[in-house]
Every structure is written in C-alpha cells, then in structure tokens.
Structure 1
Amino acid sequence: MTTVRAAVDPYAEAAPASAVRFLPALNPLAKLAGPAPAMVMLVFVRDLATPLAFLTLAYAVLLVGARTTARLAVLLLVALPAAAVVIGLGFSLWVDPAGVDHGTVVLRIGDWRLYGGAVGIGLATGLRLVAIVALALIAGLTTTGPDLARALVQQLRMPYRIGYTALAAFRFVPRFRHELDVIRQAHRVRGANGGAGPFAAAVRWTGYVIPLLAGAIRHAERVALAMDARAFGAFPDRTERHEVPFRARDVVFVVAFLVVSAAILALFFPWRPA
C-alpha cells in the first residue's frame, strides 16, 4: 500500500528500503534554502580549498540522497570535472601576468609564458563556478517544476493564480512534444519532407511553427474556459489536491546543510589575507 501511495505522491511516507534516497521526498523549498547561502558565498571566495570543499559536499549529498542514474553518473564523473578544467584553463589565459607570481612557468610559447599563479587563479574560478552548479543540482535533479510551483503556493503563499498558471505552463511541454510528433508524421505521409540538408531542415521547421502556434492557442483557450467554469480565482484560497508538506526532515536538512556550510567556511576560508 505504501509503494502504491508513494508512486502517486512522492511526499508520502516511504518504505524503509527506500529511505536512503531522501532527496526526492524533501520539500523543494528545503532543497533550495539549504544550498542557497553556500552558493551566494562562493561568489565572493577566491581560494581553491573552499570551492573544492563545497563541491565535495554537493557530491556527497547527491550520491547519498539522489537516485543513481546514468545521467547523474555522467554529470558527476565527466561533465562537471571537464567543465572545471576547461573553465579553469580558459580563465588562466585571461589573467593579467603582471598580477601573478612569476616563480613557476607552466607553459612557454616563444615570448609568451603561462605562470603557475595564473593557473591557480583560473582553477579557483573554474572550481567556484562548478561548485555553484553542483549545489544547484541538489534541487535541480530531484525536483520537478510542478512540485516547486505547489510548494511556492502552499508554503510561501504565492497567489495561486500565478502558481497554477505556471503549473499549467509545465503541462504544455509534453503536449507540444506530442503535437510536434503528430505534425511531423502528417508531413511525412503527405511527402512534404522538403529533402535533405540544413536549408531543408529550416523549411521543415518553418512548416511546423504555424500548426504548433495554432494548437497552442486552441489549448490555451480550452484551459481558460475550463478554469472559468470551475471559478478559478474567485476565492482567496483553494483546496489542494496534492500537498507538498514541509516536515521535520526538511528542517533537519536545512539546518544540517547550513551547519556544514558554516564549518567549511570556518575551516577552509582564508579569513586572514596572505
């Protein structure tokens, strides 16, 4: 019974076997509130140790709390490390050589030299940006747009006219994908593919735009009529069908994340300038 309920409501009490993967069951606002101060602080740090520590924290939370998928593995093991290296080397090439230590020459091409100080500054910048992205992935990989809209309405008292308009917009995406597939099939049946090559692809997409726009207008009109028929917006509050509760586990996650973030800053941040 618990498994069936959890399939319908991700915030229902989970079975003991799945309790380890805790991130999908947390409130979306908790997953935003915990990492947010660390993300803001990373904008102002300039050392290597602090972003590396926050990056390790984000990896630990994702590996323990999120479902292990091929997408997550590629992001953590390939995409983020590659991004850190590429961004770091890119920024190191733009650093003013006059403002860095000339003690170590990493690369020399003719009269041009790449110093170790410039590489350190570039890697610190790359790690800082990648750590911010990794912290954002804690909520991004384990939260859906509809759940975030519901949480904003239920916990932060966003006007439900705005919140559920955004919810309706999220529902438009899979419908547009289905309509695009139908339009493509209709064009193929009628022999209107337009040939091969980039210009033919551009012509095909031009032919898709007008039917998609017409379908979007029709669908928006039906949604508006249905909302008016149900007196949507006529009352200050509405009854929620799917609740997104903010429970004790959410408070524990936010407090624990803030405590660990403060400990990282206390241990690694260079409070005294060198």
Structure 2
Amino acid sequence: MSEQARLEPADAAAAASAPTTGPVVDPYAGPVTHSPVHFLYDLNPLAKIFAPLPAMVMLVFVRDVRTPLVFITLTAVVLLIGVRFTRGLVALLIGVPAFGAVIALGFALWTDAGLVDDTAPVVQLGGWTLYSGALETGLATGLRIAAIVVLAFIAGLSTTGPDLVRATVQQLRVPYRIGYTALAAFRFVPRFRHELDIIRQAHRVRGAHGGRGPFTAIARWAGYIVPLLAGAIRHAERVALAMDARAFGAHADRTERHLVPFRTRDTVFLVGFWVVSALVFWLFFPWGLS
C-alpha cells in the first residue's frame, strides 16, 4: 500500500491542499527541467529584478568605456552559468553587443565634430573627418545601452510572468485583485495562440482567403480578428463568472496555493550583486574625470 493510501482522509485532504513552494510550472507551457547548476531559475523573481537595478540606474550616468564593458562581461558570465545554454541565449549574447556596436557607430557619426576636433583623426573622407573623441563617445553610449539590456536579461531569461505576479502579491503586498487580474492576462496569451491556430485551420479547410500577395495576407488577418475577439469575450466571461462564483475579491486576503518565498539565497544574491556592482564602479569608473 502506498504512503498516500495509508494517510487518513483528513490528512490526505490537508496534504493535497497544502501550499507548494518553489518555481511553479505554467500549465500552458511544456515541462521545465534544468540542472541545479542553473541557479537563476530557483531565485525569487524580485531578487533577480532588484539585484541589477542599482547598476542599471548608475549606468545611465556613466560616460566611460570600461565600466559598462566590465558589467557586460560579468553579466554574460552569470547568464552562462545561471541559465540553460540555448541557441536563444547565444543569439542574445551576440545580438546585443552587435546592436550596441551599431548604436556606437551611429552616435559617433552624429557627434558634432567641432566638440572633438582636438582629438586624433581616425577616418578622413574628403572634407569629413571622424575623430577619436567622437568614436569614444559613441562607443561609451553603445556599451552603456548594451550593458543595461544585458543586465535586464538576468530576470528576463529566468523568470515567468505568473511567478513574478505571485511574488509581487506575496512579498510586495500588491492587492491580489490587481495581481491575479494580470495573471489571468498572462493565461490569455497561450489561449489566443491556440485559438488562432484553430481559426487558421478552419479557414484553410474551407479555402477562405486563398492565394498570395500583400492584399490577400491583409484580408486573411482581417478574417481572423472577428472570431478571435469573439473567443476572447467568451473566455473573459467564463473567467469572470468563475471568479465571481469563488467569491474572488470578497475578502481582504486570500490563501495562496503556490508560494514563491524569499529565501536566504535570494538575500545573498541580492546583497552580493549590489556589493559587486559597487566594487565595479569604485575600481573601474574614472572618478577623477569629468
């Protein structure tokens, strides 16, 4: 006889209704498995949001090259260790610096040459000259933007929307009426995708909006809008009736089934990231320069 069968009925009911802790699997998503080495998935979403936040704010006022470059390197190391190694992660880690390089070149070309004409020329094309000062200004701006974006990936690549909503309700005391309205909105997204696939298949079977070309594509998408909106209204009505039947919002507090606790490791990560960020600014930021 199994352990569950040996439980008394009252004990079995209590065990079934006991709050669960840790990361919650989204029922609309596939099974999530990851190695214990990927520690970012097990941290509280608020810890992953507030840990890089001071560094992101300070980087707005940084004008040198070394400080954002150090943050990009450190954050890339944290992401490579803390999250699963996927092609999407590689694309982001390569695409963001490439985007920063484009931004850097754009700001370098946009910088007024009269403000940096006392620096060494780098490129001369006829009467136009690209000075090293303009290139350094553009590079600093591009690296700063890239560093801020990469720091945002710490929470973005390892946090789900439902877990973030639960954390704000449980730790930040956001009213659960607001939080779980946002949670319901998260649930709408995969349902819309599923209903859109069904509508596409129905149109394909009936031969509606066949052919190619831009006008055919516009007509095809226009045919999707009405049934998709109708399905959204029906789903919203069912959700509202279900919430009303369960007396949702009738009480000031509610019992949480899925807990997203703020543990000691979350505090260690939060404080440790703040300390490392302060050391980076202290060691690499050129405090003596204006």
- The TM-score range, normalised by the shorter chain, is over 0.9
Return the offset for 1:10.
4.7
Return the offset for 1:101.
4.4
What's 2:47 paired with? 30
Contact 2:40 2:158 (C-alpha < 8 Å) held by counterparts: yes
TM-score by length of 2: 0.87
| Identity rate, percent | 68
What's 2:69 paired with? 52
- Among candidates 211, 221, 234, match of residue 218 of structure 1: 234
What do the CA deviations read for 1:131-163 (whole angstroms, capped 9, x no partner)?
000000000000011100000000000000000
Amino acid at match of 1:147: D
What do the CA deviations read for 1:244-263 (whole angstroms, capped 9, x no partner)?
01000000000100000000
What's 2:243 paired with? 227
Amino acid at match of 1:182: I
What's 2:11 paired with? none
Contact 1:194 1:203 (C-alpha < 8 Å) held by counterparts: no
Cα RMSD (Å): 1.5
What's 1:171 paired with? 187
What do the CA deviations read for 1:22-67 (whole angstroms, capped 9, x no partner)?
0000000000110000000000000001111111121111111111
Structure 1 portions without partners, runs of 5+: 1-7
Amino acid at match of 1:186: A
What's 2:261 paired with? 245
Return the offset for 1:98.
1.1
What's 2:141 paired with? 125
Query: Which whole-Å CA distance do the structure 2 matches of 1:102 and 1:235 have between them?
Result: 69
Return the offset for 1:11.
3.6
Amino acid at match of 1:179: E
Return the offset for 1:81.
1.9
- Among candidates 160, 172, 190, match of residue 156 of structure 1: 172
What's 1:4 paired with? none
What do the CA deviations read for 1:68-93 (whole angstroms, capped 9, x no partner)?
111111111x2022112111101111
What aligned pairs does 1:67-216 form with structure 2 within 5 A after superposition?
67-76=84-93, 78-216=94-232
Query: Which whole-Å CA distance do the structure 1 matches of 2:199 and 2:67 have between them?
Result: 51
Amino acid at match of 1:137: F
Query: Which whole-Å CA distance do the structure 1 matches of 2:23 and 2:244 have between them?
Result: 30
Contact 1:50 1:264 (C-alpha < 8 Å) held by counterparts: yes
Query: Which whole-Å CA distance do the structure 1 matches of 2:60 and 2:182 have between them?
Result: 30
Contact 2:70 2:280 (C-alpha < 8 Å) held by counterparts: yes
What's 1:65 paired with? 82
Secondary structure, counterpart of 2:258 in structure 1: coil
Query: Which whole-Å CA distance do the structure 1 matches of 2:40 and 2:23 have between them?
Result: 10
Secondary structure, counterpart of 2:123 in structure 1: strand
Aligned residues: 262
Secondary structure, counterpart of 2:172 in structure 1: coil
Contact 1:10 1:24 (C-alpha < 8 Å) held by counterparts: no
